[in-house]
Amino acid sequence: MAIKLHVNGAVREVDAPDDMPLLWVLRDLLQLSGTKYGCGMAQCGACTVHLDGQPVRACVTPVATVGARKVTTIEGLSPDGSHPVQQAWAEVDVVQCGYCQSGQIMTAVALLAKRPDPTDADIDAALSGNICRCGTYVRVREAVHVAARLQRGGK
């Protein structure tokens, strides 16, 4: 069945069953491989994308439920990695293996949209559902603070 989706600023049409998870539509049908498959049960956060700016787990979101909402993936934040959160991730050197990082970044972007100057507790609460097997949590927290500063125009 043909479904129209608004993904990263463009309307895309896909032929997918209604119950196909958004994750597989993004990865397999639209070739947007930045969103990762982790657990398939919405427990790890690797598949986090935004629907109208709200973080959701794409692995358990049936494509038919997306409707007219705007989907943003890690590829949609910026074409060149210039988004403040992406810049902060590089500045702090957060990534170790990197597998969870697109989900971490998408969650951090949503947090900063709600709380432009988050506390450590805000960051820990918002990102608590994102699992990093490498344990980069301290660097993630630092990068969120750096991103907040960058978004406010700080260097």
Same domain (yes/no): 52, 107: no
Tell me what pLDDT residue 79 has.
Answer: 85
Tell me what pLDDT residue 151 has.
Answer: 94
CATH number at residue 47: 3.10.20.30
Q: For residues 16 and 1, is the Cβ–Cβ distance under 8 A? A: yes
- Residues 79-122 have pLDDT tens digits of 899 999 999 999 999 999 989 999 999 999 999 999 999 999 99
Judge whether residue 154 has pLDDT over 80. no
Judge whether residue 155 has pLDDT over 80. no
Same domain (yes/no): 45, 88: no
Same domain (yes/no): 91, 67: no
Token couple for 143: 């990068």
Same domain (yes/no): 44, 96: no
Same domain (yes/no): 126, 96: yes
Q: For residues 105 and 46, is the Cβ–Cβ distance under 8 A? A: no
Same domain (yes/no): 56, 109: no
Q: For residues 22 and 63, is the Cβ–Cβ distance under 8 A? A: yes
Number of domain units in the chain: 2
Range of the domain at 132: 84-151
Same domain (yes/no): 67, 91: no
Same domain (yes/no): 60, 109: no
Same domain (yes/no): 35, 53: yes
Same domain (yes/no): 63, 30: yes
pTM: 0.95
- Residues 47-75 have pLDDT tens digits of 999 999 999 999 999 999 999 999 999 99
- Residues 6-46 have pLDDT tens digits of 999 999 999 999 999 999 999 999 999 999 999 999 999 99
Tell me what pLDDT residue 108 has.
Answer: 98
Percentage of the chain surpassing pLDDT 70? 99
Same domain (yes/no): 113, 48: no
